[in-house]
Structure 1
Amino acid sequence: MFEKLVILEVARAMASHAALRQNAVSQNIANADTPGYAARDVAPFAEVYAAASGGTMRATRSAHLPGGSAAAAMISPRREPGTMSPNGNSVSLEDEMVKAVEVKRQHDLALAIYKTSLGVLRSSLGRR
C-alpha cells in the first residue's frame, strides 16, 4: 500500500526540476558577459511531467495499458531569447533574477508538498 506514493514522486520530480532550472539560471548569470552566449532554460515542470506521465492517464495496475516513455528535462537554448546585446549575448540579468525567484518558489513548493504528505502519512499511521 505504501510502497510507491505518487505524491512523493511528484515532490521529488519537482525538486529535481527546480535544481536543474537553478543550474541553468546560474550558467546564464555566469556567462552574462560572454560574447555570443545564448540564454538557456528548462521546459516548465507541467510540460515535462505531462510528457513523462503520458499525458492525462497513468497505469496504476499491471492490467492497465502501458503509459508513455519517461521524458527527462534538459537545459536547452531559451525558446524566446529576448533582446541581444551588441556582442550577441542574450542574457538579461534582470530576467535571470526573476527566474531565480521562480525557481526558489518551485523548490519551496516541492518541500511543502513533501512535508505535508509526510504529515498525512504519519496521521494515517496514528503518529504525530
Structure 2
Amino acid sequence: MSRPSLAIAGVVSLALAGCLTPSIPIPPPDPGLMTFMVMGDGANTTATFSYPANVNYRDSIVYVYNRDRGLGIIEASRPDGSVGPTQPVKAALGEQIVVTFQREDLTASTCIRLRNGTQSSTDYCNP
C-alpha cells in the first residue's frame, strides 16, 4: 500500500472507532430525590411523581410502573431533566413502584416501596 492509502485508511479507522465508542450509562434515579404525593383511600388511592432537574435525565421518557398492580404511566421529562407532578398512577402505600428514565439507547431504573413524600434510600423492592 502506498503512503496516501495508509493515511486514508488510518483516518477512516479513527473515524469509525469514534462512532463505536460505548455510551456512558446514566445513573439510576435517587430515591431520596423522588417525591410521591399519595391521595385518596382504599382502592381509589393514587400517587403523582416528581423529580428535580437533573442533566442526566434531559429529554427522557419517564415510566412510573406499579409492580403490584401491573399498571403505570408514561410521561416526558422537561428539557432540564425534571419531572412532574405526573398524572396519577393507581398506587397505595407500601406498593412496589418502578421509576425508569429512558434516553435513546440508555435506560436507568429504581424500584421503591411507596411512601408519601420523599422516598427512602433503603426501602427497595423485593427481587
TM-score range, shorter chain: under 0.3
Q: What TM-score results when the alignment is normalised by the length of structure 1?
A: 0.27
More strand by share: 2
More RCO (CA 8 Å, sep 6+): 1
Q: What TM-score results when the alignment is normalised by the length of structure 2?
A: 0.27
Q: Please say which structure displays the higher CA radius of gyration.
A: 2
